A and B are shown apart, each in its own frame.
Chain A
Amino acid sequence: MLFDTIAAISTPIGEGAIGIVRLSGPESFGIVDKIFKANVDKLDWEDRKLKYGHIYDGDHLIDEVMIVKMYAPRTYTREDIVEINCHGGAVPLREILRICLREGARLAERGEFTKRAFLNGRIDLAQAESIMDLINSKTNKGFDIAINQLEGHLSNKINMIRSELIKIMAEVEVSIDYPEEDIEEITYDALGSGLENAALQIQNLLKSSNTGKIIREGLKTVIIGKPNVGKSSLMNVLLKDSRAIVTDIPGTTRDVIEEFLSVDGIPIKLVDTAGIRETEDLVERLGVEKSKSYFNAADLVIFMLNGAEPLSPEDHMLMEKVKDKPAIVLINKSDLEQKIELESISDIFSNEQIIMTSMSNESGIQQLEDEIKRLVFGIQIDQGNQEIVSNTRHIALLEIALKHINEALNATKQSLPYDFIEVDVKEAIVQLGLVTGESVASDLMQTIFSQFCLGK
């Protein structure tokens, strides 16, 4: 609500070598102190001085950053502000934001930094109306709409977990508020197993929500095809198109080039492989092994064929490998005379999957991007996983809910009185309710009175 600490990615995703995560509010210094380790000194922070170091998620290194703290009131919002300058790819920005939210910041609403600047008397009257419009504006972007549909599945799932928790809590509450009624009190064992179940489900949501992960971490996309089929050109065209930047991800070999780009907001982690074919050459084989593992882990395979040549035995071999993966087949060099046997390709792949492209005149790129979007939002990629947590805010809420459930579990194991355990259970329900927009009080009453027979 009012005066809490907000955070947001303040630079457009995928548009620069650096990205900025910004926090504003009373907790912003405290949050950053928890996740930032300065490299050299532990001296006091100076106002408006950059400091070099690393952001950690627990023991896990997230990114190398420069941080500046700005002390209230001499800031844009007139609150304490921290700006974390990190690498500009989608992953570091989203990860850093996620950790900030988990540590207690709230994802800023549209225009909220400016809103605070206004509320705290920093900017003038004329801007008020436009901020109101900003807060009020409903976004029409296809991306958001698609996300919203996916989130529908998530809401259902979260509501299920939430109502399980409410049921458990109703049992606790009823024994507190109606101690003399003829109702069996819930045991610590039952309470514990109910909580464990909820924790497990939330963990699974956080872990396995595939599209969410795609949206958070990038769609793992592998380009394969014979040498000289146009893989590098495709990469360059896509990168130019999305104005994405090239980041060197530590651990990647020269044989596999990994890039980030974004297609209408969908971050894509693009891998150009060294080619997947059997080889006797030891040096080349190292690259191939790596390629294979990338291929196996890929969310999407872009399979490139040369339209100007008949299919080679190697093409047939690759086709066999690709056919069971979510794949898009690009028949490249469509500007040249076509010699490829289209029938044998359409025997294996559907029409939507096959796209004619030419890297020299950049034709077919729009169709490719459209097909990627369709695959991501049409849930073609993984039919099994329909609950998608993509929204950073939701991830943060789920993480906080999980934290509270674990605390409640702890208290249960120590056999603390129910009214203490309930504090964290209630908080978890509140957090889950924030995802779906429901309040605890009325739902709890409803459950108590429909489940238990009470009376005078």
Chain B
Amino acid sequence: MSMGYKAGDFGCIVVGAGHAGVEAALASARMGVKTLLLTISLDTIAFMPCNPSIGGPAKGHVVREIDALGGEMAKNIDKTLIQIRMLNTGKGPAVHALRAQADKFAYQNEMKSTLEKEPNITLKQAMVEKLIVENDVVKGIITRSGAEYYSETVVLTTGTYLRGRIIIGDLIYESGPNNQQPSINLSHNLKEIGLNLVRFKTGTPPRIHRESVDFSKMEIQPGDEVPRAFSFDTKEYRLDQIPCWLTYTNFHTHMIINSNLHRAPMFSGAIEGTGPRYCPSIEDKVVRFNDKPRHQIFLEPEGEFTEEMYVQGLSTSLPEDVQIEMLRTIPGMEKAEMMRPGYAIEYDVVVPTQLWPTLETKKIKNLFTAGQLNGTSGYEEAAGQGLMAGINAACRALGKDPVILDRSQAYIGVLIDDLVTKGTNEPYRLLTSRAEYRLLLRNDNADLRLREIGYKIGLIDENRYQAFLLKKNQIESEIERLKAYKVKPTSEVQEMLKSAGSSELNNGTDLATLLRRPEVTYDMIESLFPGLSEIDSAVKEQVEIEIKYAGYIEKQLLQVEKMKKVESKKIPEWVDYKTIHGLSLEAREKLSKIQPLNIGQASRISGVSPADISILLIYIEQGNKNMELNQHGKTE
């Protein structure tokens, strides 16, 4: 490290400008906090080292939630996408999910420009090597070039850079993603200040040249023809979309993999980090599912103005020559020109149970961590955490109450609660099945769930908020109208029911009851009984869902109510688990480590039994009464 010099004072310093870092910095800055954003390279802001795509089930939901709260990811992808689709349309509304292919270069440039235009952000290229910590409170950071920046809060979003190590066959070297510089000293420093780190692994497939691909042997996968967007505020849609291509591996591909397993770091022991089960490498898939005759491969363009294509499904750390051989067994890729090899990357991760639900570390005050550093995988999971870490760092700097989303409010809440309460022993991917209240956490209603919060913390401006209120009012009044509107079994109505394949009416009913029939849609009803004013399709969608699935939604709301009662029972700070008579050893240890904020969170910790919770409740009550008694004693 060079000679130190004082370089500036900030309210918030964000280390790393990936998907977590940019959200953190923008949130903090937009909430009025003077923010410094540091990145190893200004040319890799919001870089996508893996899939050039954003969204999918649960992940797409997170992007919508980020937008509802006032984050940037949705807007940025809407501006730079080259294809967008709604997935799961054959299933219920709760699991409809957007997925877009990005022009990854445009995505980076657009995000960089947004950051540069943000008046409260100072954007700099620097390698952070050390945190300035006094009495377990973070005070700032020191860069490799000796700059000392002081700040009330620090948000670390270092992705896969901490002691990053790339592995391709027997080639192993220290590196961040895509041959970026790794961050070595910061990792050592985090250990020195008392954080517990573990090693994770992830990987990426090779990229090939578009000109070397024979698309006639593949199946085309175009985008949706209906205009779609992630952001609730996007008004312009890209319609001339670029397709992806589908092909499959085969017996020959698998044979090459099998005969080269002795050269695969996955199996030779060269990889020590824990990889994710949900996105295994191709060699992993071939070994674990050896009865599967083929695996699906998607060719995704990396951008509009590049010939590079991403070979989704072929993540690998096999030696370069094996990768080429393997690629050329796949229909359409017989002459594939590999431009970059796939690789595995290992990196250090902060054990996330060391964090409060605000993403602040328990050990070091005012220090927040977010993104892949916390053991997740995926741009969206990173961005969601980055946003919350940025919001909470800003709240701290401004002396405001923290913002914690619970499991019934947002996938982001599920994600963070899972991380800080249960931890993870592999890179964590958000799935819709991780959410208890999936029918409430829909893609379509993210604004109704969260925009109010975004407005309250200052990330949603007045215009966007008014538009939201208008939409909300329209939904409510249209639902009211349908409930109140009585219909008689007229020939018109019977005709409509008949053509929908629904049974005819015997008596009069109301429109809401009619809409509850599985065969009847809002559009059918509207065509016969139009409302007073023209309403937006997003409003119609809400009305239809809320009426049609009211029974199920109420069921989940009841569950939420139960959960909230337990959640509202706070665990006071004076609780010392080690002195609680009767707690099981495991519970004592886990509770001391996690330090849950409330009884609900405590009960989600594995190894904490209902009996432990009972004892904890009694202990808390006992303590509260003791304190009351003491206070009374003083006054009497």
A interface residues, Cβ below 8 angstroms from B: 1-4, 109, 112, 115, 118-119, 125, 128-129, 131-133, 135-136, 173, 175-182, 414-420, 422-423, 439, 441-442, 444-445, 448-449, 453-456
Please state if B552 and A423 are interface contacts (CB–CB under 8 Å): yes
Closest partner residue, chain A, to B297 (CB atom) = A182
Question: Quick one: CB contact mask for B265-295 with A, threshold 8 Å, 1 for yes?
Answer: 0000000000001111110110011001011
**CA of A1 to CA of B564 in the docked complex: distance in angstroms?**
12
Given A1-B603, A177-B432, A420-B439; 5 other pairs, CB 8 A cutoff: A173-B431, A182-B295, A420-B92, A441-B434, A453-B288
Could you list 24 A-B pairs, sorted by A, with CB under 8 Å?
A1-B613, A3-B566, A109-B614, A125-B629, A136-B582, A173-B433, A176-B57, A176-B91, A177-B57, A418-B95, A419-B91, A419-B95, A419-B439, A420-B552, A423-B438, A441-B434, A442-B606, A448-B278, A448-B431, A455-B280, A455-B281, A455-B313, A456-B312, A456-B313
Using Cβ atoms and an 8 Å threshold, which residues of chain A touch B58? 177
Cβ of B51 < 8 Å from any Cβ of A?
Answer: yes
Assuming the contacts A2-B569, A109-B611, A453-B285, asked whether A118 and B621 have C-beta atoms less than 8 A apart, the reply is yes
Nearest CB of chain A from residue B572's CB, rounded to whole Å: 15
- Complexed CA–CA distance, A419 and B443 (Å): 14
Q: Does B575 contact A (CB under 8 A)?
A: no
B621, closest chain A residue (CB): A119
Interface of chain B residues 367 through 396 with chain A (CB within 8 A): none
A136–B615 Cα distance when bound, in Å, is 8
Task: Tell me if B513 is interfacial: C-beta within 8 Å of chain A.
Answer: no
Contact B613 A417 (CB under 8 A): no
Complex Cα distance, B298 from A132, in Å, reads 59
Take A135-B614, A136-B615, A444-B433 as given contacts and tell me if A125 and B439 are in contact as well, using a CB distance cutoff of 8 Å. Answer: no
Whether B26 is near chain A, meaning CB under 8 Å from some CB there, is no
Q: Could you tell me the distance in whole angstroms from the C-beta of A175 to the nearest C-beta in chain B? A: 8
Does B469 sit at the interface, judged by CB under 8 A? no
A285 to chain B, nearest CB (A): 57
Partner among B433, B439, B622 whose Cβ is within 8 Å of the Cβ of A177: B433
B431/A177 in contact, CB under 8 A? yes
B618 proximity list for chain A (CB < 8 A): 115, 118-119, 128, 131-132, 135
The 8 Å CB contact of A176, one of B95, B315, B552, B555, is B95
Q: For residue B549, which residue of chain A has the nearest CB?
A: A420
> Which residues from chain B contact A453 at a C-beta distance below 8 Å?
280, 285, 288-289, 292, 295
Q: Which residue in chain B gives the minimum CB-CB distance to A434?
A: B610
- Does B599 lie within 8 Å of A2, measured CB to CB? yes
Say if the beta carbon of B626 comes within 8 Å of chain A.
yes
Chain A CB within 8 A of B296 CB: yes
| Complex Cα spacing A29 to B426, Å | 47
Q: Within the assembled complex, what's the spacing in Å between the Cα atoms of A416 and B91?
A: 9
CB pair A454 B279 closer than 8 Å: yes
Residue B6 at the A interface, CB < 8 A? Answer: no
Q: Does B31 contact A (CB under 8 A)?
A: no
Given A2-B566, A119-B618, A423-B556: A180 in contact with B87 (beta carbons within 8 A):
yes
Q: Does chain A have a CB within 8 A of B119?
A: no
Contact between chains at A423 and B433 (CB < 8 Å): no
* Complex alpha-carbon distance, A344 and B549, angstroms: 73
Chain A residues lying within 8 Å of B603, measured Cβ to Cβ, are: 1
Who on chain B is nearest to A174 by CB? Answer: B433
- Contact call A416/B92, Cβ cutoff below 8 A: yes
Q: Is the CB of A417 within 8 A of B92?
A: yes
- Measured CA separation A422–B289 after assembly (Å): 27
Q: Across the two chains, which residue of chain B brings its CB closest to A183? A: B296
Q: Which of B533-550 contact A (CB under 8 A)?
A: 549
A177 CA / B56 CA spacing, docked (Å): 8
B562 at the interface (CB under 8 A from A): yes
Pick from A180, A415, A454: contact of B278, CB under 8 Å: A454
Which residues on B sit within 8 Å (CB–CB) of A115? 614, 617-618
- Contact indicator A2/B518 (Cβ below 8 Å): no
CB of A77 to closest CB in B, whole Å: 14
Residues of B within 8 A of A128 (CB): 618, 621-622
Chain A residues positioned under 8 Å from B92 (CB to CB): 416-420
Question: Nearest chain B CB to A400's CB is how many angstroms away?
Answer: 13
Closest to B312 in A: A456
Cβ of B625 within 8 Å of any chain A Cβ, yes or no, is yes
Partner of A448, one of B204, B433, B625: B433
Q: A182-B295, A417-B92, A455-B313 are in contact. Are A132 and B581 (CB under 8 A)?
A: yes
Task: Judge whether B296 and A181 touch: CB under 8 Å.
Answer: yes
The answer to whether B88 and A176 have CB atoms under 8 Å apart is yes
* Binary contact readout B37-73 vs A (1 if CB under 8 angstroms, 0 otherwise): 0000000000000110000111000000000000000
Question: Could you say which residues of chain B place their CB within 8 Å of the CB of A448?
Answer: 278, 431, 433
Contact A179 B57, beta carbon cutoff 8 Å: yes
Cβ A132 vs Cβ B433 within 8 A = no
User: Is A135 a contact partner of B57 (Cβ separation < 8 A)?
Assistant: no
Q: Which residue of A lies closest to B205 (CB)?
A: A456
**Chain A CB within 8 A of B94 CB:** yes
Chain B residues near A180 (CB-CB < 8 A): 56, 87, 296, 298
A115-B280 Cα distance, complex, nearest whole Å: 49
Docked CA distance A332–B294 (Å): 78
Q: Is the CB of A125 within 8 A of B622?
A: yes
Tell me the smallest distance from the CB of A391 to a CB of chain B, in Å: 16
Nearest chain B CB to A248's CB is how many angstroms away?
41
Given A128-B621, A455-B313, also A176-B615 (CB < 8 A): no
Measured CB to CB, the closest approach of chain A to B118, in angstroms, equals 32
**Chain A residues closer than 8 Å to B294, beta-carbon distance:** 182
Contact check, B95 vs A182: say whether CB atoms are below 8 A apart.
no
> How many whole Å from B609's CB to the nearest CB in chain A?
8
